[in-house]
Structures are given as structure tokens and as C-alpha cells.
């Protein structure tokens, strides 16, 4: 028994050392009946789950006010995920009056328990108020270190553009972009393309840049599509010049409102030969037909 207690104590200490409160980790999925039964006993996990059922309209009519009520009960007991969700409701004004100060209060409580989503959201608020907020940037760093893609991208942007207190640092930006890109984030993929193509903080590597642009473009990222269209037009990185492919990717980007692609496409089309334009339009039609058949809407999460 003593050995078991020592193991439990060690694990508890390890969790706290990582900045994660036990109640932040305790969330378990319950069905609706289990959640209702648990709330009668004041169980914070059940209260959190029931709040989520109301927020998502799962098994009950969607009711953000009810969601806020149950999130508040769990949040008051220190339940990190409930604190986060309650903060989001205050931030969005759903079920409660929109109140950024109240949102920040609950997000801060959740962030102090080590929840990366809370850290990222709170950091975004702080950096929006002050682009050089040291607290916000440090929260991005904590969340990024836990694998949060959003935080990795935001931290990369801090170093890519620089702030009042932090000098622009392309290698550091590339490091965080790479972590996010390796998790499939298209914004990071496109940014790495720009960094490699222009040699920002590294040697120019057009081939690697093209590979990153293609990955971003394949995910529907408008800037990635614009850049991939441009490199096809110019034959960058060993690509064969392909007016029809350039038209395809620039058109896809322009359809999403990317102004750079719209302007370049208008000039590019005027210089295309009729057969090149016809082939480009054929590729675009096939692409749109193929992807529209793959985009049937899902229901919830």
C-alpha cells in the first residue's frame, strides 16, 4: 500500500510540475444519462459534459445559457476544461453577456492549469491588446511547447515579423513554423515556402519552397495556391513552366478572394495562348467537380 501511495504522490507531483492540475486532466466522456446523474451529485466532470451537450445540441436542444450554467458549476470546482469553455462563451457572448474581462478571468484560470487551448486564446487576447505583450508571447511559447499548432504558428509570426521588444528572427520563426507544418498546418507550410524561396535566415532553396507551396495548395490554402500558381508560371525550383497549371492554382486562389492571385491572374490570362487557356479551364473544371463531390457536410464533432 505504501508503494502505491508513493507512486500516486509521485504522479501527482509530476502533473503539477508540468503545470497541469489533476482536474484539468480528469475529463472523461460521459453519455447524457451519466452526465445528468453525475450533476445531481455535484461531479464537475459530469457538469462539464452536460454543459458540452447543451453547447453542441447533442441529445438536448442547443442552449448556450444552460451550457454556461453547467460550465460555471464545474469551473467553480477548478475544472480546467469547463473554465476554458466558459471563457469562450463570455468571449463570444453566447448564453452570457459578451465580456472580455470575464472571459480572460476564466481563461487565465484554465491557462494556469496548463491547458494549451486556454493559453493560446488568452495569449491572442493579450497580443491583440498589445502586440508586444510579454505575457501573451510567453503563453504562446508554453502552448507551442505542448504541441498546440495554433500557438506554434502565432509564435512563429512573432519572430517572423518581430515586435517592439523582440527582433525579427527568421531561423526561430522557421523552427516554429516547421513544427506546425509537420502537423499539417497550411499557413505554416506556405510560410516555409516563402522563407526558403527568399532565403530568409537560410540559403535559398527553391525546390524545398515549391514542395511546401504544393502542400499548402493541396489543402486549399489561398496563399499557398497563389504561390504555387506563380512558381508554375515561372518554372521555379526545377518545375517545368506550365501555363495551364499556373492558371488552375491562381484561379483557385482568386476564387477565395486572394488579391495577389486575382491581379496576377488577370495579367497572366492576357498573355496566354488560346490552347493554354482552354487547358487551364479544363483543369479548373475537373478540380472543382472532383472536390465538390468530396465536400459533403459532416454533422458536429
pLDDT of residue 295: 47
Residue 74 is part of a domain; what is its CATH number?
1.25.40.10
- Judge whether 141 lies within some domain: yes
- Judge whether 3 lies within some domain: no
Is the same domain home to 172 and 211?
A: no
- Judge whether 9 lies within some domain: no
Domains contained in the chain, number: 3
Is the same domain home to 226 and 281?
A: yes
- Judge whether 197 lies within some domain: no
- Judge whether 4 lies within some domain: no
The tens place of each residue's pLDDT in the chain, 301 residues long, gives: 444 333 433 333 433 334 444 444 456 889 999 999 999 999 999 999 999 999 999 999 999 999 999 999 999 999 999 999 999 999 999 999 999 999 999 999 999 999 999 999 999 999 999 989 999 999 999 999 999 999 999 999 999 999 999 999 999 999 999 999 999 999 999 999 999 999 999 999 999 999 999 999 999 999 999 999 999 999 999 999 999 999 999 999 999 999 999 999 999 999 999 999 999 999 999 999 998 865 443 333 2
* Per-residue exposure over 49-83, b if at least 16 CB sit within 10 Å of its own CB, e if not: bbbbbbbeeeeeeeebebbbbbbbbbbebbbbbbb
Is the same domain home to 213 and 286?
A: yes
- Judge whether 156 lies within some domain: yes
**Cβ proximity of 269 and 247 under 8 Å:** yes
pLDDT of residue 24: 47
**C-alpha cell of 232?**
508554375
Q: Which of 178, 202, 206 is nearest to 191 (CA)?
A: 178
Q: List the domain range (segments joined by +) for residue 148.
A: 127-189
Is the same domain home to 221 and 265?
A: yes
DSSP secondary structure, 252-284, as one string:
HHHHTT-HHHHHHHHHHHHHS-HHHHHHHHHHH
pLDDT of residue 27: 66
- Judge whether 59 lies within some domain: yes
Q: Measured in Å, how far apart are the chain's first and last C-alpha atoms?
A: 42
Amino acid at each position: 500500500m505504501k508503494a502505491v501511495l508513493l507512486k500516486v504522490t509521485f504522479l501527482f507531483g509530476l502533473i503539477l510540475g508540468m503545470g497541469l492540475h489533476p482536474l484539468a486532466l480528469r475529463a472523461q466522456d460521459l453519455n447524457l444519462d451519466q452526465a445528468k446523474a453525475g450533476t445531481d451529485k455535484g461531479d464537475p466532470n459530469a457538469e462539464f459534459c452536460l454543459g458540452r451537450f447543451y453547447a453542441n445540441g447533442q441529445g438536448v436542444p442547443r442552449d448556450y445559457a444552460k451550457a454556461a450554467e453547467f460550465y460555471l458549476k464545474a469551473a467553480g470546482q477548478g475544472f480546467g476544461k469547463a473554465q476554458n469553455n466558459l471563457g469562450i462563451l463570455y468571449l463570444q457572448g453566447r448564453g452570457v453577456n459578451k465580456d472580455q474581462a470575464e472571459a480572460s478571468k476564466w481563461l487565465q484560470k484554465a491557462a494556469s492549469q496548463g491547458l494549451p487551448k486556454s493559453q493560446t486564446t488568452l495569449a491572442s487576447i493579450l497580443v491583440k491588446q498589445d502586440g508586444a505583450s510579454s505575457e501573451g508571447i510567453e503563453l504562446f511559447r508554453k502552448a507551442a511547447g505542448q504541441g498546440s499548432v495554433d500557438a506554434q504558428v502565432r509564435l512563429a509570426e512573432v519572430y517572423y515579423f518581430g515586435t517592439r521588444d523582440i527582433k525579427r528572427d527568421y531561423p526561430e520563426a522557421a523552427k516554429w513554423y516547421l513544427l506546425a507544418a509537420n502537423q499539417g498546418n497550411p499557413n505554416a507550410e506556405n510560410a516555409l515556402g516563402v522563407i526558403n524561396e527568399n532565403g530568409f535566415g537560410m540559403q535559398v532553396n527553391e525546390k524545398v519552397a515549391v514542395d511546401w507551396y504544393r502542400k499548402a495548395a493541396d489543402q486549399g490554402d489561398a496563399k499557398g495556391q497563389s504561390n504555387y500558381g506563380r512558381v508554375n508560371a515561372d518554372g521555379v525550383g526545377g518545375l517545368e513552366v506550365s501555363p495551364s497549371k499556373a492558371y488552375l492554382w491562381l484561379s483557385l486562389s482568386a476564387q477565395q478572394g486572394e488579391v495577389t492571385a486575382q491581379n496576377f491572374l488577370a495579367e497572366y490570362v492576357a498573355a496566354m495562348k488560346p490552347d493554354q487557356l482552354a487547358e487551364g479551364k479544363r483543369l479548373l473544371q475537373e478540380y472543382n467537380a472532383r472536390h465538390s463531390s468530396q465536400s459533403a457536410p459532416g454533422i458536429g464533432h
